[in-house]
Amino acid sequence: MRQSGFPITLTTDFGLADEYVGVMKGVILLINKGVPIVDLTHGIQPQDIRQAARVINSNYKYFPPGTVHLCVVDPGVGTARRIIALHCDTHFFIGPDNGVFSPLINGPESVDVYQVENRKLFLKEVSQTFQGRDIMAPVAARLASGMSIVHVGPRITRDSCVVISLRDPLVRRDGIAGEVVNIDSFGNLRTNITKAHLNRIDLGGHPCITLRSYAIGFCKGSYDDIADNMPAAIINSSGELEVCVKKGNAARLLRVGRGERIFVHGHRSGCQDADLAS
């Protein structure tokens, strides 16, 4: 049995209360007992394809070339939806063709896409409800062992793949309208506004941020520069605009959930968001 130095990352909406994550790892180790397995996250909200797409696209680059990124956020399991494998930017990706790889397929990097249909690579019995275990995990294990991606099935065009909108923010010269797309375990409000978006507008050195009826100050430094128990906006380690509360929980304090609108303007009197809300 060949051992591999190429890691496999796992991104799922399974959580950790049930056996699903563990048994997928078991299948991988049956095929390639030496492969390093990294849990990227199992905390994707149930069936939230957009959240999974953002997580994978933001984090795959922090792993070595050759890493296999396995994503099982699969509301359409057991239907006619395809399973696909991608080679992009020296990394491999495998998951359902449901839009979870949209940023890669739409991105600037060259992408080779294959439909996973070589049954010789699957477990002998394939369930209609757990193809992450029976199809994707075995294929990921073999890709990590050095198997060429061409063996998974026929090559398909990137244009034939399912692509979904990640709901990018509205960027105008005088401001940005975005939304809260995730809330982490600390209660930090992560948005779809990035540092790159902020660089496209004139903030006048003092951006004004509104969230519901709250005016949020912007901190250019680190969490330590924020006053205790006060909400502030900061650029997080993923390059996203994030609203946090030092020694507190922003989601609870502000009573904000995913999908809440957030507005960024250059510093000006009143700092109203009405002109961007339409």
Query: Cα(209)–Cα(236) distance, rounded to whole angstroms?
Result: 16
Whether the predicted pLDDT of 271 surpasses 90: no
Lowest mean pLDDT among 2-6, 62-66, 174-178, 200-204: 2-6
* Least confident stretch, 142-156, 173-187, 264-278: 264-278
What's the mean pLDDT when you consider all of the chain? 90
CA angle 28, 29, 32 (to 5 degrees): 85
* pLDDT confidence of residue 3: 52
User: What is the pLDDT at residue 43?
Assistant: 94
Q: Which two tokens stand for residue 32?
A: 């390639």
pLDDT score, position 100? 97
Question: pLDDT band at 272, cuts 50/70/90?
Answer: very low
Q: Domains of the chain by range and CATH?
A: 8-160 (3.40.50.10790), 170-277 (2.40.30.90)
pLDDT at residue 276, as a whole number = 45
Report the Cα 225 to chain-centroid distance in Å.
Answer: 28
The pLDDT of 138-157, averaged and rounded, is: 97
* Residue 209 neighbours by CB distance under 10 Å: 24
189 contacts: CB under 8 Å, gap ≥ 6:
180, 183, 211, 242, 243, 244, 250, 251, 254, 256, 260, 262
Tell me which of 54 and 200 has the higher pLDDT: 54
Contact criterion met (CB below 8 Å) for 201 and 194: no
